Structure 1
């Protein structure tokens, strides 16, 4: 079970008509919009707020947050609340804490005070984005129930009334480009002050702790959402956040933003990027996999389950090992033991050679094997297998030995369960100098050179039938990648690195490795990312 998960809401009680949201059956608050206000007395458009509240559905509630204003802002806010007591509330912060913290405290108050709320968000007090855009945001949620956030985007298109000064527009585009690169997301407009979120446990986690940025907390929200998605194996942010092109937006006189603030924003962007790499939400900090780095994170299993059917590395390694297993000439009805079967894609592939028994220490891994339809499964330690002596015709261990503290004991145990003349086919990652965050996340103890692996095998009593390095031409790429990345700090969960590649490149890499698989039938290579060996239990 996940500690955090996006919660889907039902829209059965909602109906959208033109620009209004109609909520059936009750007058419960469904949408809370936080409006942070600091010294807004001169430009607060009270008439615009009043017009919106007169026509909006009772399910929409405005929460105006006075951020320690020193002018008459609080007085004006209270007057609005007095005229619309069922539609508008005021939260008064006695000292100025900045927009980010004012929004955060407003969101937390909204979630606490209106537990019926299904959506919460924030809007700039100058109403550069009219409140009348809110129903459009909600229609997007209705049309796309999987979304967790809808954010406003100021794109000047024909038929859209977007009035923005050229200087701010171009500075904003430069900042948005850097923000996109920093986040790794193709987001057009991070800073538009109009955003709505679906209420969920991950959202509460995002807002539970103060932001590190006073100015560009919008970016920090997306960064935290992205971090949570990785920690909890949730859908990628780019698939659940939607940029809604506004119908209207205008620069409002009296903006507190100055050109020099863009430099400050750039510095804050660097700080946000560094912080969110380490960030673990408070709700997760006592979980076993966070406290104990020897427990593999559940999201790593889920990521593996989702990717190993199609990702080039898993496919190429599986096809390489299958090619070597096929040439063992196993007897009909052979028993093949897959040690460390993981999430089951490999075990499923071996079934064409005989009856496969999958063994793994993790219940999370075995549960995913069952999803694939595998039934011959056993929970067990790779150094104490739950099988009798001489029961398997072949044993396959793809990138398993490096996970085990005592690799020699594991090899002796694997020889025990093999029949005399039975074969062990195994792969291990090569070269200690390639050690990185990927190894830490996957709980590796070591990487090997071929001579070291074969020496261990002979000590355990195996005969070496064949060995080679594999994935040879990709070694230079891996070296460069390791040089550009550092081992993660100890105060955050490490992440396995399976870099996303376009479909065409994924297909090309699979085909390229098929060529290497064919070549390895006839020759051995002196270097590569992996070591592959076929070992035999003496007869």
Structure 2
């Protein structure tokens, strides 16, 4: 599942790689566009045999799936939008199979703090970010939910300066020459992936990576159950 899939970037790549994908989001308009793209990918022959994809609308606090349903879940840039984030985390744990993996990305603390300082509109818009996570807080909350922490890395170092520019000139000011020029660079980088920018981002990621990516596993046996079995055995 791509939980909070938005425009579907991660769902499309998973589908392209042969996964059985559920693109889940609250926004029906976004999901309509994702569904159209799934269809276009099938028509263009971009999808391996046996792969499947569907869209499902719903609320992250009440996922419409049975327990232990998914092998893997991606929750990319979504938890920072949810006031009751720990309830959403509990739902992710519930629908993930024992031994299943969860990948979570949220905005990194320092780049996000700069954005909040530069622009009130950036974080007060309806549906915007309601908190700034430290990695320690994110890991602690998901550990308290029942997940095991497996590792982390930072990503999108080239994107942080773009958002600082946007916040400085106005997040809705799409005509600013500097913001437009930087956006063109980012699009070029995404499409062409030249070696120079790949190396530059590798250096920038640990310092100003716009996102932190943390990996988790749902234990095959919940910690409380394991502890109870140990006590019973003694």
Do the structures match in fold with TM over 0.5?
A: yes
Q: Is the Cα–Cα contact under 8 Å of residues 2 and 11 in structure 2 kept in the other structure?
A: yes
Count of residues in correspondence between the two structures: 191
Q: Cα distance, 1:341 vs. partner?
A: 1.4
Q: Cα distance, 1:412 vs. partner?
A: 1.2
Q: Cα distance, 1:377 vs. partner?
A: 1.4
RMSD: 3.0
Please point out which of 364, 379, 385 is paired with 2:63: 385
**Which residue is 2:46 aligned to?**
none
Q: Is the Cα–Cα contact under 8 Å of residues 390 and 418 in structure 1 kept in the other structure?
A: yes
**Which residue is 1:413 aligned to?**
91
**Which residue is 2:35 aligned to?**
370
Pairing 1:533–2:197 present: no
1:429–1:363 CA distance, 2 compared to 1 (3 A): same
Distance 2:209 2:108 in 1: 7
Higher fraction of helix: 2
**Which residue is 2:180 aligned to?**
500
**Which residue is 1:345 aligned to?**
9
Distance 1:413 1:480 in 2: 36
Distance 1:480 1:373 in 2: 33
Q: Cα distance, 1:344 vs. partner?
A: 2.2
Q: Is the Cα–Cα contact under 8 Å of residues 471 and 516 in structure 1 kept in the other structure?
A: no
1:475–1:379 CA distance, 2 compared to 1 (3 A): closer
Please point out which of 138, 143, 151 is paired with 1:458: 143
**Which residue is 1:356 aligned to?**
21
List runs of 5+ in structure 1 lacking aligned partners. 1-336, 487-493
Q: How does 1:146-161 map to 2 (within 5 A)?
A: none
Please point out which of 64, 82, 87 is paired with 1:404: 82
Distance 1:478 1:504 in 2: 13
Q: Cα distance, 1:369 vs. partner?
A: 1.3
1:364–1:452 CA distance, 2 compared to 1 (3 A): same
Q: Cα distance, 1:495 vs. partner?
A: 3.8
**Which residue is 1:443 aligned to?**
128
Distance 1:455 1:527 in 2: 22
Larger gyration radius, structure 1 or structure 2: 1
Distance 2:56 2:173 in 1: 26
Deviations, residues 134-162 of structure 1 (Å, cap 9, x unaligned): xxxxxxxxxxxxxxxxxxxxxxxxxxxxx
1:496–1:462 CA distance, 2 compared to 1 (3 A): farther
Distance 1:477 1:495 in 2: 13
Higher RCO (C-alpha under 8 Å, 6+ residues apart): 2
1:537–1:382 CA distance, 2 compared to 1 (3 A): same
Q: Is the Cα–Cα contact under 8 Å of residues 31 and 55 in structure 2 kept in the other structure?
A: yes
Deviations, residues 458-495 of structure 1 (Å, cap 9, x unaligned): 1111111111232336545654654x346xxxxxxx74
1:380–1:513 CA distance, 2 compared to 1 (3 A): farther
Distance 1:417 1:527 in 2: 33
Distance 1:338 1:465 in 2: 19
Distance 2:169 2:74 in 1: 32
Deviations, residues 153-173 of structure 1 (Å, cap 9, x unaligned): xxxxxxxxxxxxxxxxxxxxx
Structure 1 counterpart SS, 2:180: coil
**Which residue is 1:395 aligned to?**
73
1:372–1:508 CA distance, 2 compared to 1 (3 A): closer
Pairing 1:470–2:155 present: yes
Q: How does 1:311-330 map to 2 (within 5 A)?
A: none
Q: Is the Cα–Cα contact under 8 Å of residues 438 and 495 in structure 1 kept in the other structure?
A: no
1:445–1:354 CA distance, 2 compared to 1 (3 A): same
Structure 2 counterpart SS, 1:372: helix
List runs of 5+ in structure 2 lacking aligned partners. 40-52, 221-234
**Which residue is 1:138 aligned to?**
none
**Which residue is 2:104 aligned to?**
426
Structure-2-length-normalised TM-score:
0.69
Structure 2 counterpart SS, 1:385: coil
Q: How does 1:53-452 map to 2 (within 5 A)?
A: 337-351=1-15, 352-373=17-38, 376-431=54-109, 432-433=112-113, 434-435=115-116, 436=119, 437-441=121-125, 443-452=128-137
